[in-house]
Chain A
Amino acid sequence: MNPLVDVRGLEYTYEDGSHALRGVDFQLDPGETVALLGPNGSGKTTFVLHLNGLLKGEGQVRVCGLEVTTGNLAVIRRKVGLVFQDSDNQLFMPTVLEDVAFGLLNLGISPEQAAVRAQSALENVGMALAAQRAPYHLSAGEKKRVALAGVLAMDPELLVFDEPTTFLDPPGQRALAALLTQLPQAKILVTHDANFALAVCSRAVFFQEGRVAGAGPVEEVISQFEWSFRSPAPSAVR
């Protein structure tokens, strides 16, 4: 089986000279859900921004059988749905329905069809009643669901989430985890939340200083890199 995502030797340096990715190799199979763990600045977000061509580094990036090149961007961006950390950045249209329809209209779908598909996507995430509301009136959890509807409406093959649990309270996190496990698409989750990764993902990849430092079942990776919160011993606090 060909991998859905196949990245080899990916390097990326920001304009300020910081070397964010130093030869990343990564594969993801169709239907698989993988957590990207690792410290701040380890290159996780920079890596996922390459998957739909928002950043262009050195190396090979193939998604859904297509090389990520300028000529393929329109197709790639339909196939890869990116849900950003701060939903406020993703919900820029005046109403929820218009926001969800935004990507569909960019695909050239007629306004009538776009409205129907957007409404259907909102129903899938349990936000159908919010269609005519303004995004800034929604709670953080509702915003996250609407942002997800915005990418689901485009019928992507791969969903990428950047810190999906940020701004969500524990009930909101549980609801999101339940929703994600129901979605059939392959998923990549950039997260610091080990519990969320355990609940949703089958595999984890640990990033460190722009490289993949380890990969395997989520529990093993968490244990190997001590990636869960534990209260420090009293002697360590002093």
Chain B
Amino acid sequence: MHHAVVERWSRGTSALHRRDPRAKIAVLLVYLIVLATAHRNFALIGVVLLLLVLAGFLVARLPVSRALARAAVVLPFSLAFAAALWLVGDPYRGLTLVTKAWLSALAVLLVIATTPLPLLVHGLESAGAPRFLLTIAQFLYRYLFVIAEETAHITKAAASRGATMRGLLGRRARFRAAAGALGVLFARSYGRAEDVHRAMLSRGFSGKLETLGTLRFRTADAGFLAVTSALLVGVRAL
């Protein structure tokens, strides 16, 4: 699974992995601002920003080609808007949009791939992100594995009774089968959510998700934040 791979990447021990998540989030923010506000000389700035992120992946000892491919997951969305810009006669802006979307995804992926989720959540919380949203994200991440497993079971059960995508292709039956599977998945997910809530209550949960929260902002983190931010601001001035 996609996020199982990223989860494994995030458990590395490189210098970038060891940085405090708050420092990485702050650098990411600076990177995204530089990227979003770059208009003149974008070709040059884009290349430098790409090289910086690639350097990050190399420092983190992560597979660059796989990271590039994974970041491309955002392209279908941005390509739709880029196509519209192309049609109205502004292909340069379309290309810029696609490049910015891909570079943003790459930078976000670098932060996620070098920060285990619990630390990322703590870091985002310290940075002022709403606790409620973080809790939802945390639970979604945790149960995505379980829901994916249940989806695989449903698919296998359907296949074992002779259902094939080719057999159903283009027929109403395909939509009926998909709707049925989605319904079952929703009912199971709903039931599981109730069970999880019950398990939380039984261990004294009263509405606020407490965590161990063990972040330490060291001198090295401050140095990392200062140097990379200065570098990024310098790139913006190109």
Contact = CB atoms under 8 A, between A and B. Distances in A.
Most chain A CB within a 10 A radius of its CB, from B117, B121, B139, B195 = B195
Interface stretch (A106-114, A122-130, A197-205, A227-235): A106-114
B202 interface: yes
Contacts of B142: 92-94, 135-136
A105 B210 contact: yes
Contacts of A106: 203-206, 210
A83 to B, nearest CB: 9
A77 B139 contact: no
Interface in B125-166: 138-139, 141-143, 145-146
Given A90-B199, A103-B204, 17 more contacts: A54-B201, A77-B201, A77-B203, A89-B198, A89-B199, A92-B139, A93-B211, A94-B117, A94-B118, A94-B121, A97-B212, A101-B212, A103-B203, A106-B210, A111-B211, A150-B203, A154-B204
Contact of A111 (B117, B199, B213): B213
B192 interface: yes
Interface of B: 7, 116-118, 121, 138-139, 141-143, 145-146, 192, 195-196, 198-206, 210-214
A77 B196 contact: no
B interface secondary structure, majority: helix
Contacts of B145: 136
Contacts of B139: 92
Contacts of A114: 212
Contacts, number: 83
Given A77-B201, A94-B142, A111 B212 contact: yes
Given A94-B121, A105-B210, A89 B138 contact: no
Contacts of B214: 111, 115
Contacts of B117: 94
Contacts of B211: 93, 98, 105, 111
Contacts of B210: 102, 105-106, 111
Enumerate the 7 nearest inter-chain pairs by beta-carbon distance, A residue then B residue, closest first: A103-B203, A106-B204, A105-B210, A94-B118, A89-B195, A90-B199, A82-B202
Contact of B138 (A52, A77, A94, A135): A94
B118 A54 contact: no
A74 B196 contact: no
Interface residues of A, number: 34
Contacts of A82: 199, 202
24 contacts: A54-B201, A74-B206, A77-B202, A77-B204, A88-B146, A88-B192, A89-B195, A89-B199, A90-B196, A92-B143, A92-B196, A94-B138, A95-B118, A102-B200, A102-B205, A103-B204, A106-B203, A106-B210, A107-B204, A111-B213, A114-B212, A115-B214, A150-B203, A151-B203
B158 to A, nearest CB: 23
Interface in A67-102: 74, 77-78, 80, 82, 84, 86, 88-90, 92-95, 97-98, 101-102
